[in-house]
């Protein structure tokens, strides 16, 4: 069940900045000759963050899996991978976004 949270403009600005950084890093990973990220993972991260961005444009932070389940699909890639994706620039940005996401949803 998708839940929504109306957020203040300063939080909106922070999240939009983080989302843009993630999307830029997804593009960089796609352009690399070798990347620990699979193309399907990159596409899933891209799609997830595009959806979050669309909600934020309307001042709403979306929780695709409900507010009690705050972990994003992108974060699962970091925890379930044997490739240490959390140590890549994209992984670090996703971690940072996830921390802010959890903080605001509490």
How far is the C-alpha of 44 from the C-alpha of 32, rounded, in Å?
17
Average pLDDT, integer, range 69-98: 86
- As a 3-state breakdown, the chain gives helix, strand, coil percent values, each rounded to 5, of 65, 10, 25
Residue 95 scores a pLDDT above 60: yes
Residue 29 scores a pLDDT above 70: yes
Q: What is the DSSP letter of 2?
A: -
> For residue 31, what is the enclosing H or E element?
helix 9-31
DSSP 3-24: EEEE--HHHHHHHHHHHHHHHH
106 exposed, middle or buried (CB, 10 Å; 0-12, 13-18, 19+)?
Answer: exposed
User: 47-56, pLDDT tens digit by residue?
Assistant: 999 999 999 9
How far is the C-alpha of 58 from the C-alpha of 26, rounded, in Å?
23
Sign of CA pseudo-dihedral 28, 50, 82, 89: positive
User: 43-79, pLDDT tens digit by residue?
Assistant: 999 999 999 999 998 888 887 765 566 778 888 888 7
Question: Which two tokens mark 69?
Answer: 């389940």
């Amino acid at each position: 069940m998708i839940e929504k949270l109306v957020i203040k403009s300063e939080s909106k600005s922070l999240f939009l900045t983080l989302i843009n950084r993630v999307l830029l890093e997804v593009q960089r990973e796609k352009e690399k000759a070798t990347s620990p990220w699979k193309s399907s993972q990159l596409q899933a991260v891209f799609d997830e963050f595009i959806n979050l961005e669309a909600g934020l444009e309307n001042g709403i932070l979306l929780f695709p899996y409900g507010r009690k389940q705050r972990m994003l699909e992108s974060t699962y890639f970091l925890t379930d991978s044997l490739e240490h994706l959390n140590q890549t620039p994209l992984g670090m940005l996703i971690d940072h976004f996830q921390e802010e996401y959890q903080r605001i949803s509490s």
